[in-house]
Structure 1
Amino acid sequence: MAEARVGLRTADDSKSSWAVKGAGTPSFEAKYRVRGSDVTPDLTLRFDSVARFLQDVATDDLAASSFGSTDPYWIVRRTIIDVLEPIAWPGAVSLERWCSGLSTRWANMRVRIVEMPEINAFNPAPRRPGVIETESFWINVNVSGFPARISDEGFRHLSVGAPEERLRWQSMNSGAPAEQPSVDALQEREHVIRATDFDPFGHVNNSAYWAVVEDELTEHPDIRTGPHRAVIEYLKPVTPDSRIMLRRRRVSDRLSLWLLVNDTVVATVVVTKG
């Protein structure tokens, strides 16, 4: 059975906190192929690929809804990705999406991703189906990009079965540490933005931020040896003339990343193992 979670407060909250989705809660389902371009060299699905699936199912869900014309613009403020069992190539994935909480201007949207594994010459051994649980905090905006009230029809649709109708934003990640050296700090580095990272609004697409995470995890492969969680919070848009600097810290099973432009934090990421 698909599940839903509400009331999260920190990036280290237990992954067992996914509660059962109500039987009367409407959901949208879609299936997509996992391609070779979606995976790491060890054939597991990358975080940026998960983010693209989440964008695709959100777009398809909105197009099929009764409020796609009245509430066409949404931006994501936070995405939580719990890799419970890794998804690999080749195969397909089934996504189920529903609302787990909302207010008049934003909504938490849950997506459960379940793999339908296949085999080929690159990955011939049978494997268990992968499972990834996600939740994203979406803000309804107007054509100028400012938060706007969800339409009556949109609120009616999203609130059916949602356990929370007074959802409030509360950050799960901590603010950036000072730049001074510390035992657990890693050297600050630049992340180079590519022309392909930008969306039709002229901002770095939310899935492109995950390339930073993938780069960092090559130096911390142990985090992915079992179940792991990643939480990204988007704080400010990044434009083509920006220079992103990355501040990093590893403490035990927790990797924290802060993306800065002109010393202002534009996004935060926490990846935890276990």
Structure 2
Amino acid sequence: MTTSTTDTGLAKVLMPVPDPHPDVFDREWPLRVGDIDRVGRLRLDAACRHIQDIGQDQLREMGHEETHPLWIVRRTMVDLIRPIEYPEMLRLRRWCSGTSNRWCEMRVRIDGRKGGLIESEAFWININRETQGPARIADDFLDGLQRTTDVKRLRWKAYLTAGSRHDANEIRAFPIRVSDIDLFDHVNNSVYWKVVEEFLAPQPELFESPLRVTVEHDAPVAFGDKLEICLHVYPPGSTDKFGPELADRTVRTLTYVVGEEVKAVASIFAL
């Protein structure tokens, strides 16, 4: 049995793909023009849509789409190792790296044939349709997930804390559109990554080396909310608050706020 790496917060080492393995879900599809930026790079928000899509495909393949139809993501960690550029065929592999009886962590690796690579891990919570709260995962479903991991007591631990308005390097409004709203009547997970793309756009040099971006969700954003993003830039030597492994590099955070309520927090740093 393959295990997940011991968690060390934002600097955690993601579990390698257990390949070959019969329970690694493996699919290919082409990179589309609607998923790329002006230079042809697969955008992070589009990559996260692919991560959602292969999750739905695997759920259907395992026979649990009707019994476990609703999931929300609590955290997504994405490592942009090498940009994936158009034209390209994407290979996506998805497997479980940790479980509890109501949630799980799922790894997705996205490879391009020309060497582009994105690694990701997301913390997914199974949701009860009636109560809209966490629901127990069926035993047969759990058994299938645990074939790629022996982590069976997965617990939630936040890696990030919100930045405040008074010392932000920048505060920017981010209008919410009706097309951003999903089945839960709040902003879809992938939209939070559009915010990341907006803040990365003026700094293309950040894409020249491997980059880790993590988004943690605290509360949903609804249509009509006046969403603002607070940017904080922490230089090397001031970043031990993110763990000793990150004290030697710049860490940027984005705090998503509506009024005084924190909705999400993201971090960006070089690997």
TM-score by length of 2: 0.88
* Alignment CA distance shift 1:38-1:23 (3 Å): closer
Deviation of 1:272 after TM superposition, in Å, equals: 0.7
Contact 1:226 1:273 in 2 (8 A): yes
**Match of residue 129 from structure 1:** 115
In the alignment, which of 88, 96, 100 is matched to residue 99 of structure 1?
A: 96
Contact 2:44 2:197 in 1 (8 A): yes
**Residue identity opposite 1:265 in structure 2:** V
For 1:181-222, what per-residue CA distance to the aligned partner results, in whole angstroms no more than 9, with x for missing partners? Answer: 3xxx31212111112111122110100111110100013322
For 1:206-243, what per-residue CA distance to the aligned partner results, in whole angstroms no more than 9, with x for missing partners? Answer: 00111110100013322211110110111111111211
**Match of residue 186 from structure 1:** 169
102-111 or 69-78: bigger deviation: 69-78
In the alignment, which of 173, 196, 207 is matched to residue 224 of structure 1?
A: 207
Contact 1:25 1:98 in 2 (8 A): no
Relative to its length, the structure with more helix (as a share) is 2
Distance 2:17 2:27 in 1: 20
**Residue identity opposite 1:245 in structure 2:** E
Distance 2:138 2:200 in 1: 41
Contact 2:4 2:150 in 1 (8 A): no
**Residue identity opposite 2:116 in structure 1:** G
Distance 1:209 1:139 in 2: 18
**Match of residue 40 from structure 1:** 37
1:231 alignment partner, SS class: strand
What's the % identity of the aligned pairs?
A: 34
**Match of residue 70 from structure 1:** 67
1:208 alignment partner, SS class: helix
CA RMSD of aligned residues (A): 1.9
Contact 1:22 1:161 in 2 (8 A): no
Distance 2:212 2:57 in 1: 25
Deviation of 1:29 after TM superposition, in Å, equals: 1.3
Distance 2:166 2:116 in 1: 41
250-259 or 231-240: bigger deviation: 250-259
For 1:56-108, what per-residue CA distance to the aligned partner results, in whole angstroms no more than 9, with x for missing partners? Answer: 10111101113222222111111111111110111110101011110000000
**Match of residue 8 from structure 2:** 9
Structure 1, gaps ≥5 residues long: 117-127
* Alignment CA distance shift 1:168-1:138 (3 Å): same
1:255-270 map, 5 Å: 255-270=252-267
In the alignment, which of 223, 238, 248 is matched to residue 231 of structure 2?
A: 248
Distance 1:101 1:208 in 2: 25
TM-score by length of 1: 0.87
* Alignment CA distance shift 1:9-1:242 (3 Å): farther
* Alignment CA distance shift 1:110-1:266 (3 Å): same
Contact 1:243 1:261 in 2 (8 A): yes
Total equivalences in the alignment: 255
2:266 alignment partner, SS class: strand
For 1:126-174, what per-residue CA distance to the aligned partner results, in whole angstroms no more than 9, with x for missing partners? Answer: xx4211111110001110321000011111111123130000011122x
**Match of residue 246 from structure 2:** none
**Residue identity opposite 1:269 in structure 2:** A
In the alignment, which of 150, 159, 176 is matched to residue 163 of structure 1?
A: 150
Contact 1:4 1:20 in 2 (8 A): no
* Alignment CA distance shift 1:93-1:61 (3 Å): same
Distance 1:32 1:234 in 2: 29
* Alignment CA distance shift 1:27-1:19 (3 Å): closer
For 1:102-126, what per-residue CA distance to the aligned partner results, in whole angstroms no more than 9, with x for missing partners? Answer: 000000001111112xxxxxxxxxx
Q: Any runs of at least 4 consecutive aligned residues in structure 1 with deviations exceeding 6 A, and if so which?
A: none
**Match of residue 110 from structure 2:** 113
**Residue identity opposite 1:238 in structure 2:** V
**Residue identity opposite 2:74 in structure 1:** R
* Alignment CA distance shift 1:73-1:213 (3 Å): same
**Residue identity opposite 1:141 in structure 2:** I
Deviation of 1:5 after TM superposition, in Å, equals: 4.6
Contact 1:93 1:113 in 2 (8 A): yes
Instruction: Report whether the alignment pairs 1:172 with 2:159.
Output: yes
